[in-house]
């Protein structure tokens, strides 16, 4: 589904990704772990197409398409969802309006029929329920006045509504208390643990992986994948730290 | 003028144009001679079949105007206007007065359709029988300078509401017009208002009798449709004691290369316990991306809240015009009278807007609220200029002012110039101002959810302007939301 080959990227002239290679198939959940400054968030932003991140080498293919040739909104329409570490506030626009506009824009781009207001609200309500968010919150402006945990849950509600083929989740677990962590973990499993979907889970800690069991764990250090393994690798990292691996 | 109107060419221009409403229709015009002189004033007055007193009023205004100078205090840069190089009167060819909307020229109806006038109103204009529109609005359509058709007149009259073109009102209700015309905006008020007083071609007169809640929203669509025709509208609304009316004014204009002058005057009079809600969506041709063409919009709008507990609420969405000079104001003379001003002003490319309000507190306990949202993009300049004045005998006045500016890009300007003059120590005045930019974070977040950059800007801007947009009647709010997006096209990317 996603094939990253020898990817090099820099920000403000500073090389961050230095030959990253990674491949995800449908039905798989991959976790990327690594120390601060390893390039984890950069990887997420590069995949999402954030301006300011310059690709200096390598390629990324998503479902057979050259991902790097697409604008961010085209990547979304192609089935890529980026879960933000710091979800952004948009005052004055309700979550419902924002998401319905976004979802229908994606559908339009794909040549699919747009959803009516009623049909959309039904989906939104299901997804909000699934993440334990009150529907009233969905009617409030995007992320405005939301707590850190609510913002992360809202990201998952968005993911559920958009129903992407691939989710790249950037530290979705940061800022979550233990209950919220479980709710978010359950959400990821429910929405994305499917044969035709894949997840790239970027995280510092093992704890989210207690809820979302990855098929593969990769260690990202200094812009490269330095080690890959199964779910057990995360436990090992939790115990021993990154020091030995990154060195 | 008329011989250059080639339908195909215009349609091609329209197709090619990024200005959705830039088109010209080919209704035959009846022009006043070019230029401005006493004869022009007489021509207009004669064309309207006006009584002697009206002509005198105009001529006095004209004489005064000759002695006045163009105001230069606004933050606007523009070439001097050649007042002799414009037409001051253009009317669709004389026709017998229409008994029903079916008789309206199909060409005019076609233009309304192109303008995207709300379906409900289109039905009304098309004279659809039986189908009750979702909300009822009476339309007084000002096509260039003359009201073409007025709907629902009979029902309004049953309620005692007078809804007329001002020319008709001058003929049919001369005493009432005489009593109020120029009382809120005197003929000598300012350069542009005085010009309007001399040459106003048409406009609207509304009278809501005592205790009457106007049974429908009143709406006037302004269109500037002839090359080089200045549009000088005059609107006068009188709300008698305890009455209420909501009035909608919407404007779009065809594309032109030469700058066109527009100098309207709107006067509102509100007596005891009465309320007028006046909503405007202004979408005149803003000029092209290089600043060529576009409407010069110099408007004097003022309300006199004369009665106790009287209230006026101005809501405006200003997206068009090359130059906007406009300060809808409230003279809060009545005890406990209320003035509100809600404004969104969008400038893109080379547009310039200097707009705001004046709240003149004279009555005890009078209150005012000002919410102004300026959105600047391209190389435009957007200025909020507002005055809050409290007179010495006005006890316990309250004002709240909020001015927010949103910048798109780094070549535009946003300016907030508040004037606060307080002559009574009991006044409570609050002023808040913010300036922000659409952040890269917001743009990327919205795009990563599948939104095209221009849709994303539209959404973010609509969110920014929400407090104002929600003051608009529903149909207008929808139209205004679309307009904000359209106006900012090309400002990202």
Q: Is A73's CB within 8 Å of B450's CB?
A: yes
In which domain, by residue range, is B165 found? 2-326
* pLDDT exceeds cutoff 90 at B360: yes
Residue B237 counted as domain residue: yes
CA-closest candidate to residue B422, choices B377, B490, B369, B359: B359
User: B450: how many CB neighbours lie within 10 A of its CB?
Assistant: 30
Task: Count chain A–chain B contacts defined by CB atoms under 8 A.
Answer: 82
Rounded to an integer, the average pLDDT of B270-287 is 91
Q: Is the pLDDT of residue A59 over 80?
A: yes
Confidence of residue B269 (pLDDT cuts 50, 70, 90): very high
pLDDT score of B368 more than 90: yes
- For residue range B101-140, what is the model confidence (pLDDT) as tens digits? 555 566 555 555 545 555 445 444 444 433 343 445 565 5
Classify residue B413: in a domain, yes or no.
no
Contact call for B463 and A90, based on CB within 8 A: yes
Say if CB A99 and CB A125 are below 8 A apart.
no
Tell me the Cα Rg of chain B: 22
A156 token code pair: 């998952």
Chain B positions touching A87 (Cβ under 8 A) are 445
A141 lies within 8 A of chain B by CB: yes
Give the pLDDT score at B89.
Answer: 79
Cβ <8 Å between A101 and B459: yes
Give the three-state DSSP class for A166. strand
Please tell me the predicted confidence (pLDDT) of residue B104: 58
Q: Which residue of A has its CA nearest to B458?
A: A93
Which residues of chain B are within 8 Å of residue A89 when distances are taken between CB atoms? 442
CB-based contact, A88 to chain B, within 8 Å: yes
- Whether B369 is in a domain gets the answer no
All residues of chain B having their beta carbon less than 8 Å from the beta carbon of residue A77 are 450
Does residue B206 lie in a domain region? yes
Instruction: Indicate the Cα dihedral angle B49, B53, B57, B62, nearest 10°.
Output: 60
A71 close to A115: Cβ distance less than 8 angstroms: no
Helix, coil or strand: residue A108: helix
Residue B437 lies in a domain: no
Over the stretch B4-27, which tens digit does the pLDDT of each residue have? 334 444 444 344 445 555 555 555
Model pLDDT for residues A159-212, shown as the tens digit of each residue: 999 999 999 999 998 888 888 999 999 999 999 999 999 999 999 888 899 999
Decide if B465 and A92 are in contact by the 8 Å CB cutoff. yes
Question: Cβ contact (<8 Å) for A98 and B446?
Answer: yes
Domains and CATH numbers, chain A: 2-246 (3.40.50.300)
Q: Summarize pLDDT for A69-107 with one digit per residue, the tens.
A: 999 999 999 999 999 999 999 999 999 999 999 999 999
Nearest residue to B47 via CA among B211, B199, B183? B199
Mean pLDDT of B429-457: 93
pLDDT for res B107: 55
Q: How many domains does chain B have?
A: 1
Contact across the interface for A52 and B453, Cβ inside 8 Å: no
Question: Which residue among B450, B462, B464 sits closest to A105, beta carbon to beta carbon?
Answer: B450
List the end-to-end C-alpha distance of chain A, in Å, as a whole number.
Answer: 31
Question: According to the model, what pLDDT value does residue B131 have?
Answer: 33
Residue B260 in any domain: the answer is yes
Q: Which of A73, A93, A162 sits opposite B447 (nearest CB)?
A: A73
Asked if residues A59 and A66 have their Cβ atoms less than 8 Å apart, the reply is yes
Q: Is B174 exposed, middle or buried (0-12, 13-18, 19+ CB in 10 A)?
A: middle
With pLDDT > 90 as the criterion, what percentage of chain A qualifies?
85
A75 vs B: CB within 8 A: yes
Residue of B nearest to A108 (CA): B450
Chain B residue at shortest CA distance from A52 = B440
Would the CB atoms of A76 and B453 count as touching at under 8 Å? no
Alpha-carbon gap, residue B378 to B376, rounded angstroms: 7
Exposed / middle / buried, residue B3 (Cβ in 10 Å: 0-12, 13-18, 19+)? exposed
Distance CA A168, CA B162 (A): 63
Q: What's the confidence (pLDDT) of residue A102?
A: 96
- Residue B373 exposure: Cα atoms within 13 Å on the Cβ side: 23
Give the number of other Cβ atoms within 10 Å of residue A18's Cβ: 17
Please, is B59 exposed, middle or buried when counting C-beta atoms within 10 Å of its C-beta (0-12, 13-18, 19+)?
middle
Q: Which residues of B touch A99 (CB under 8 A)?
A: 449
Nearest to B458 by CA among A108, A157, A90: A90
Is the pLDDT at B1 greater than 70? The verdict is no
**What integer best gives the mean pLDDT of chain B?**
82
Closest chain A residue by Cα to residue B438:
A90
Measured CA distances, B241 to A209, A227, B302, B427 (Å) = 71, 82, 19, 27
Q: Look at residue A16 in the predicted model and tell me its pLDDT.
A: 96
pLDDT at B141: 57
Which residues lie closer than 8 Å to A236 by C-beta, 6 or more apart? A229
Angle at B282 between CA B249 and CA B167, to 5 degrees: 40
Residues B455, A105: C-beta atoms closer than 8 Å: yes
Q: What is the pLDDT of residues B444-489, one digit of tens each?
A: 999 999 999 988 998 999 999 999 999 988 767 877 887 787 778 7
Report if residue B238 sits inside a domain: yes
Between CA A74 and CA B367 the distance in angstroms is 50
Q: pLDDT confidence of B163, banded at 50, 70, 90?
A: confident
Instruction: Please state the pTM of the whole predicted model.
Output: 0.82
Residue B100 lies in a domain: yes
Give the pLDDT confidence score for residue A15 in this predicted structure.
95
Hey, are the CB atoms on B463 and A48 less than 8 Å from each other?
no
**β-bridge pairing B162-165 and B202-208:** antiparallel
Helices and strands of chain B, counted as H and E runs = 13, 23
Q: Which pLDDT score, from 0 to 100, does residue B79 have? A: 83
By the 10 Å C-beta count (0-12 exposed, 13-18 middle, 19+ buried), B66 is classed as exposed
Reported as a single tens digit per residue, the pLDDT across A3-56 is 999 999 999 999 999 999 999 999 999 999 988 889 999 999 999 999 999 999
Q: Tokens 């990887």 map to which residue?
A: A43
Residue A90 and residue B439: Cβ atoms within 8 Å? no
Tell me the CA end-to-end span of chain B in Å, nearest whole number.
39
């Amino acid at each position: 589904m996603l094939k990253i080959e020898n990817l090099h990227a820099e920000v403000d002239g500073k090389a961050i990704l230095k030959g990253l290679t990674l491949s995800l198939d449908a039905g798989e959940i991959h976790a990327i772990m690594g120390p601060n400054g390893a390039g984890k968030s950069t990887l997420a932003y590069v995949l999402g197409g954030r301006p300011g991140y310059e690709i200096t080498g390598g390629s990324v293919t998503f479902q057979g398409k050259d991902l790097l040739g697409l604008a961010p909104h085209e990547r979304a329409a192609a089935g890529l969802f980026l879960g933000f570490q710091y979800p952004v506030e948009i005052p004055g626009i309700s979550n419902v309006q924002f998401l319905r506009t976004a979802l229908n824009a994606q559908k339009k781009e794909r040549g699919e029929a747009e959803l009516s207001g009623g049909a959309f609200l039904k989906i939104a309500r299901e997804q909000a329920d699934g993440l334990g968010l009150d529907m009233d919150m969905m009617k409030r402006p995007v992320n405005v006045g939301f707590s850190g945990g609510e913002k992360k849950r809202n990201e998952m509600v968005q993911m559920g509504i958009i129903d992407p083929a691939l989710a790249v989740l950037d530290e979705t677990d940061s800022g979550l208390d233990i209950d919220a962590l479980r709710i978010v973990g359950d959400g990821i499993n429910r929405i994305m643990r499917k044969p035709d979907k894949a997840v790239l889970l970027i995280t510092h800690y093992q704890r989210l992986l207690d809820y979302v069991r990855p098929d593969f764990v990769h260690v990202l250090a200094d812009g490269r994948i330095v080690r890959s393994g199964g779910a057990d690798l995360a436990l090992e990292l939790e115990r021993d730290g990154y020091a030995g691996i990154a060195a | 003028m008329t011989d250059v109107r080639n339908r195909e060419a215009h349609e091609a221009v329209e197709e090619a144009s990024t200005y959705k409403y830039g088109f010209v229709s080919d209704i035959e015009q009846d022009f006043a001679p070019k230029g401005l002189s006493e004869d022009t004033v007489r021509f207009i007055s004669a064309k309207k079949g006006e009584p002697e007193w009206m002509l005198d009023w105009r001529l006095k205004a004209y004489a005064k105007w000759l002695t006045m100078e163009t105001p230069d205090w606004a933050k606007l840069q523009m070439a001097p206007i050649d007042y002799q190089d414009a037409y001051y009167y253009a009317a669709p060819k004389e026709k017998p007065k229409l008994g029903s909307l079916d008789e309206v020229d199909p060409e005019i109806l076609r233009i309304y359709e192109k303008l995207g006038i709300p379906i409900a109103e289109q039905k009304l204009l098309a004279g659809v029988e039986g189908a009750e529109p979702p909300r009822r609005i009476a339309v007084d359509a000002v096509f260039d300078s003359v009201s073409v058709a007025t709907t629902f007149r009979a029902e309004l009259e049953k309620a005692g509401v007078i809804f007329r073109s001002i020319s008709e009102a001058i003929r049919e209700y001369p005493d009432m017009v005489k009593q109020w015309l120029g009382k809120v905006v005197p003929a000598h008020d300012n350069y542009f208002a005085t010009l309007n007083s001399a040459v106003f071609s048409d406009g609207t007169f509304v009278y809501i009798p005592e205790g009457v809640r106007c049974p429908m929203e009143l709406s006037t669509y302004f269109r500037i449709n002839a090359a080089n025709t200045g549009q000088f509208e005059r609107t006068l609304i009188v709300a008698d004691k305890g009455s209420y009316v909501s009035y909608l004014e919407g404007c779009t204009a065809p594309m032109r290369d030469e700058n066109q002058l527009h100098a309207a005057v709107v006067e509102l009079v509100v007596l005891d316990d009465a309320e007028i809600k006046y909503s405007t969506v202004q979408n005149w041709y803003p000029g092209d991306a290089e600043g060529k063409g576009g409407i010069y919009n110099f408007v004097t709008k003022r309300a006199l809240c004369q009665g106790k507990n009287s209230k006026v609420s101005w809501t405006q969405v200003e997206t068009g015009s090359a130059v906007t000079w406009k300060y809808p104001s409230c003279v809060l003379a009545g005890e406990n009278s209320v003035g509100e001003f809600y404004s969104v002003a969008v400038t893109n490319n080379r547009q310039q807007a200097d707009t705001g309000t004046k709240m003149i507190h004279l009555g005890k306990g009078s209150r005012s609220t000002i919410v102004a949202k300026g959105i600047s993009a391209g190389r435009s300049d957007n200025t909020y200029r507002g005055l809050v004045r409290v007179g010495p005998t006005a006890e316990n006045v309250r004002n709240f002012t909020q001015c927010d500016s949103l910048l798109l890009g780094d070549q535009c300007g946003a300016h907030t110039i508040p004037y606060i003059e307080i002559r009574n120590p009991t006044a409570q005045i609050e002023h808040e101002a913010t300036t922000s930019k659409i952040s890269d974070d917001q743009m990327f977040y919205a795009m990563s959810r599948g939104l095209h950059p221009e849709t994303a800007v539209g959404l973010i801007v609509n969110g920014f302007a929400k407090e104002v947009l929600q003051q608009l009647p529903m149909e207008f709010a929808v139209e205004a939301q679309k307009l904000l997006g359209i106006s900012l096209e090309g400002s990202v990317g």
